[in-house]
Amino acid sequence: MSLSKNGKVVIFCLILAVIIAVVPLLFIHDSEFGGADGEAEEVITAINPNYHAWAQPLLEPPGGETESLLFCLQAATGSGLFFFGMGYLVARKKFQKKEKQE
């Protein structure tokens, strides 16, 4: 199976994106940014000292900046899939119109 030049560029960009996303996770350990979850936990504990969480996180990132990075990746993936789908629908509509004209 031989890939076209565009296919090779796409695969290279995907690999580069994965590297850019994963490498910071290896080097960020103790960051100071806690996010809204930590603040909410402090407020709830102040209101009710006997409260204990009924769910635990499946993955505990090494620091707050890592959580922020993962949130950004989640948002980027979601928007990428959404706009890919929108582009696909628009292109399909244009292609169908072109076929009807021929």
Please measure the distance between the N-terminal and C-terminal CA atoms of the chain and give it in whole angstroms: 33
- Residue 96: CA atoms inside 13 Å, Cβ hemisphere, count? 6
Q: What is the pTM of this model?
A: 0.43
For residue range 58-86, list pLDDT tens digits in order.
Answer: 877 776 677 778 888 899 999 999 999 99
For residue range 9-27, list pLDDT tens digits in order.
Answer: 889 989 998 898 888 777 7
Reply yes or no on whether the pLDDT at 31 is more than 70. no
